[in-house]
Amino acid sequence: MFFKLLKEPLIQFFLSGFVLYGIYTLMGNATSPVSNTGQQTKVIALASQLLKEYNKTLPLKESSLEKLLSYQEILLQESYFLELYKQDKEIEKILLHKMELMLNKKGIKDPSEELLHTFYTQHQQEYMEVHTYKLYLLDVTTLSKKEAKETAHRLNLLEIQPEKLPLVTISSQEMTQKYGAYFTHHLSQQFSHRWSIPVLSKEGSSYIVYITAKEGDKPLAFSDIETRVYKDYKWEKTLEAQREAFAKIKKYYKIEVR
């Protein structure tokens, strides 16, 4: 019955916990996704040892790691409440990924050309020929490509900053010499203040990169990069929608580190 309901457009519009909210509302019982447990707020305990283990792979501030782990635990708790789980680590990974797909269900309407041009005008600094970057490099070589990509997405969704990493100032020419032409080309199209997807250097190391500033020439003409602007627009608006969706779920949970 539940999976049949998931196919309904209204239900698909909402994410994870709000799937249940929508179901209960239709049934005349507008309560929160966790109300069935008899609690207003569900407490989730994060093991401090787990934070230490995560810090070995992702050298971020403890508060950032807490946000990252909290996000994962909240979505997993929602999947448990939906009775989708078994006590198996591999199944947990699958369920976490499934819940993230549900965050994407809302969808973003295609923009008009006028709206797209407005987006381009507001972000012209992202579309210039860059000759110098200020950035942070997070080495994710030890992660699988899928794990690294998921990590980058979650860092963006949770707006986690690269606090413990060294800031690097580097020219495009230096970047090409050190990391390779593909690496430089990819970062030339990367938005500032966003984590990139994993990028391979010419030596085979994998990084997700956070650019804080760019210096360059005048912006490229809109007509020459309209497809790129379209992809950026969809990406940014999807990220905004996912943040809003997760915020609605998060308010039903309290995180404690023990």
Contact between 119 and 232 (Cβ < 8 Å): yes
Q: Is residue 231 part of a domain?
A: no
Q: Is residue 192 part of a domain?
A: yes
Residue 35: pLDDT above 60? Answer: no
Mean pLDDT of 207-225: 94
pLDDT tens digits for 69-86?
888 888 877 777 766 655
Share of the chain above pLDDT 90, in %: 47
Higher pLDDT, 5 or 124: 124
Distance of CA 76 to the CA centre of its chain: 16
CA dihedral 240, 244, 247, 252 (to 10 degrees): -160
State residue 25's pLDDT score. Answer: 32
Residue type, 17: G
Q: What is the mean pLDDT of the chain?
A: 79
Q: How far is CA 57 from CA 54, 103, 162, 166, 226, in A?
A: 6, 26, 14, 16, 37
Distance of alpha carbon 50 from alpha carbon 56, whole angstroms = 10
pLDDT tens digits for 93-149?
766 766 776 666 656 788 899 999 999 999 999 999 999 999 999 999 999 998 999
Query: Residues with Cβ < 8 Å from 56, sequence gap 6 or more?
Result: none
State residue 31's pLDDT score. Answer: 32
Q: Say whether both 129 and 190 belong to one domain.
A: yes
Residue 92: pLDDT above 60? Answer: yes
Q: Is residue 59 part of a domain?
A: yes
Q: Is residue 49 part of a domain?
A: yes
Residue 61 confidence class, pLDDT cut points 50, 70, 90: confident
Q: Is residue 232 part of a domain?
A: no
Sort strands 42-46 and 253-257 into parallel, antiparallel or unpaired: parallel
Q: Is residue 234 part of a domain?
A: no
Among 89, 197, 88, 189, residue whose Cα is nearest residue 148 = 197
State residue 164's pLDDT score. Answer: 85
Higher pLDDT, 46 or 159: 159
Q: Provide the CB-side half-sphere exposure for 5 (13 A, CA).
A: 16
The number of domains in the chain is 2
State residue 196's pLDDT score. Answer: 96
Tokens representing 148 are: 């690294």
Structural domain that includes position 123: 113-219
Distance of alpha carbon 214 from alpha carbon 188, whole angstroms = 9
Q: Which residue has the tokens 């998931």?
A: 6
pTM: 0.67
